[in-house]
């Protein structure tokens, strides 16, 4: 009997070791090379002298840690539009109940100023709904916008518009868009609005609420004013470059419409799919997403330089993939990298600020401070 249980233990151990070895032999630790032959031109903007903030544009690179920025910088031959930022801080991303956050808890911290539990959306640790920056901005008669490349019921955009203890409840989160009052809403995720358990057609309901509801970019591009609800896909938008310049164009369209409000605006612009590429440990796809996000940053910075009263904050909600830059060559855009996880990591993430009051984002702080500082700057409380 003793002999058999001993044998069983040995066999079980071998199976377990093999299973673990398989899991870790995927891409983790393996050195992967990538080379970008065609760097893009970056813009150069002057620091803004003015001190009055009318608008805040918050740009989130989902899963965009310092290594994602550093690798993109080397791959683009030593330059990025991000280089223009005059003030830089570091944000701690922990969730209320876990060291390693998800986009729900981190988005909630930045959108509402309170640390939240893993997977929760716009609620406190007891499940009570919290007011977000967008809620406070709407109450002060500012215009608001959300532009993302994922579904709008995905975690990050949801934290600025919805309240739910579970990010998976996407059909319920969709209902929150009927009442949140955001003026310009753009992304994917039509399924949660038209293919629902309750058979409601929320696209029609949004139209009845006065939104210009569109499913094609050509239609969105010709809109000049008013409320916009545009979902171009059933699920997420395709990756860059397959989706073309639609993220850049949608961001600039949102800004041009929101800027018509003399009280100012708050806009959330998210490079949502940087995170997916981290989860897949796919460096070519990641570099493409970083290019699209950084080029959009270039366009936004040029607009903000010209405007003079807009604060632009670019940051991440967490890092994804445990990406490491091991070697490379700035002169030809070669990078040698490795990944250490298919999930998120717990490292501090960068916060870049440009424009009036940008100095307020210097230092090292919890991600809840993103909310606190924007609310203070826009005098939302």
Measured between its terminal Cα atoms, the distance across the chain in Å is 72
CB-CB contact of 355 with 314 (8 Å): no
* From 39-47, 159-167, 210-218, 272-280, span contacting Zn ion (CB under 5 A): 272-280
Looking at 228-236, 251-259, 273-281, 296-304, which segment touches Zn ion (CB under 5 A)? 273-281
* Active-site residue, selected from the candidate residues 103, 272, 338, 358: 103
Smallest separation, CB 145 to Zn ion (Å): 20
93 binding Zn ion? (CB under 5 A) = no
What is the contact mask toward Zn ion in residues 63 to 82, using x (rule: CB under 5 A)?
--------------------
Closest by CA position to 108, among listed 93, 89, 123: 123
Residue span binding Zn ion (CB under 5 A) among the ranges 135-143, 217-225, 274-282, 346-354: 274-282
Quick check: 276 binds Zn ion (CB under 5 A)? Answer: no
Q: Per CB under 5 A, does 101 bind Zn ion?
A: no
Q: How long is the chain?
A: 381
Q: Contacting Zn ion (CB under 5 A), which of 62, 124, 270, 276? A: 62
Residue nearest to Zn ion (CB): 103
Q: How many CA atoms lie within 13 A of 297 on its CB side?
A: 29
Element (DSSP H or E) covering residue 190: none
Residue 322 or 328 having the CB closest to Zn ion = 322
Nearer to Zn ion, 165 or 317 (CB): 317
165 forms part of the interface with Zn ion (CB under 5 A): no
Is the separation of the CB atoms in 63 and 319 below 8 Å? yes
Stretch that binds Zn ion, among 9-17, 44-52, 183-191, 269-277 (CB under 5 A): 269-277
By beta-carbon proximity to Zn ion, the closer residue of 170 and 275 is 275
Please say which residue, 322 or 355, places its beta carbon nearer to Zn ion: 322
Catalytic residue status for 103 = yes
Q: How far is the CB of 275 from Zn ion (least distance, A)?
A: 5
Q: How far is the CB of 272 from Zn ion (least distance, A)?
A: 8
Interatomic CA distance for residues 274 and 106, integer angstroms: 16
Q: How would you classify residue 178: left for phi > 0, otherwise alpha for psi between -120 and 50, otherwise beta?
A: alpha
Q: Which residues contact 220 (CB under 8 A, 6 or more apart)?
A: 186, 214, 228, 230, 250, 253
- Which of residues 68, 84, 103, 144 is near Zn ion by CB under 5 A? 103
SS3 32: strand
Sign of the dihedral through C-alpha 244, 298, 182, 101: positive
- Indicate whether 275 belongs to the interface with Zn ion (CB under 5 A): yes
Cβ nearer to Zn ion, comparing 301 with 315: 315
Instruction: Please state, in angstroms and rounded to a whole number, the distance separating the CA atoms of residues 220 and 230.
Output: 7
Of 62 and 124, nearer to Zn ion (C-beta) is 62
Examine residue 317 and tell whether it contacts Zn ion (CB under 5 A): yes
Contact status: 319 vs Zn ion (CB under 5 A): no
Sheet holding 32-35, edge to edge: 32-35, 334-338, 324-329
- For residue 318, CA distances in Å to 151, 246, 326, 351 come to 19, 25, 21, 11
**Active site amino acids:** 103
Binding site for Zn ion (CB under 5 A): 62, 103, 275, 317
């Amino acid at each position: 009997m003793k002999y058999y249980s001993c044998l069983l233990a040995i066999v079980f151990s071998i199976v377990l070791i093999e299973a673990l070895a398989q899991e870790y032999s995927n891409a983790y630790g393996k050195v992967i090379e990538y080379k970008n032959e065609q760097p893009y031109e970056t813009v150069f903007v002057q620091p803004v002298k003015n001190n009055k903030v009318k608008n805040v544009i918050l740009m989130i690179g989902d899963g965009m840690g310092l290594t994602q920025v550093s690798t993109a910088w080397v791959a683009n031959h030593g330059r990025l539009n991000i280089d223009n930022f005059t003030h830089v801080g570091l944000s701690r991303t922990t969730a209320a109940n876990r060291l390693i956050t998800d986009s729900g808890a981190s988005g909630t911290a930045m959108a509402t100023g309170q640390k939240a539990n893993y997977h929760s959306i716009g609620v406190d640790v007891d499940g009570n709904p919290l007011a977000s920056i967008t809620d406070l901005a709407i109450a002060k008669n500012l215009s608001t916008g959300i532009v993302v490349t994922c579904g709008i019921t995905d975690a990050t955009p949801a934290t600025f518009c919805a309240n739910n203890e579970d990010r998976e409840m996407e059909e319920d989160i969709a209902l929150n868009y009927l009442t949140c009052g955001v003026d310009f809403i753009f992304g994917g995720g039509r399924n949660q609005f038209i293919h629902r358990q309750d058979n409601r057609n929320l696209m029609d309901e949004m139209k009845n609420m006065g939104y210009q509801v569109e499913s094609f970019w050509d239609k969105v591009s010709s809109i000049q004013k008013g409320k916009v609800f545009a979902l171009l896909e059933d699920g997420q938008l395709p990756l860059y470059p397959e989706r073309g310049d639609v993220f850049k164009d949608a961001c600039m369209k949102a800004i041009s419409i929101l800027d018509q409000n003399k009280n100012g605006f708050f806009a959330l612009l998210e490079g949502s799919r940087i995170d997916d590429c981290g989860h897949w440990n796919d460096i070519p796809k990641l570099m493409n997403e970083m290019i699209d996000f950084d080029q959009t940053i270039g366009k936004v910075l040029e607009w903000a330089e010209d405007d003079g009263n807009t604060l632009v904050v670019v940051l991440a909600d967490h890092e994804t993939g445990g990406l490491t830059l091991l070697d490379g060559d700035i002169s030809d855009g070669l990078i040698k990298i490795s990944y250490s996880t298919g999930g998120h990591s717990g490292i501090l993430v960068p916060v870049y600020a440009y424009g009036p009051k940008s100095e307020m984002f210097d230092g090292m702080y919890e991600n809840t401070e993103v909310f606190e500082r924007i609310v203070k700057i826009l005098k939302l409380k």
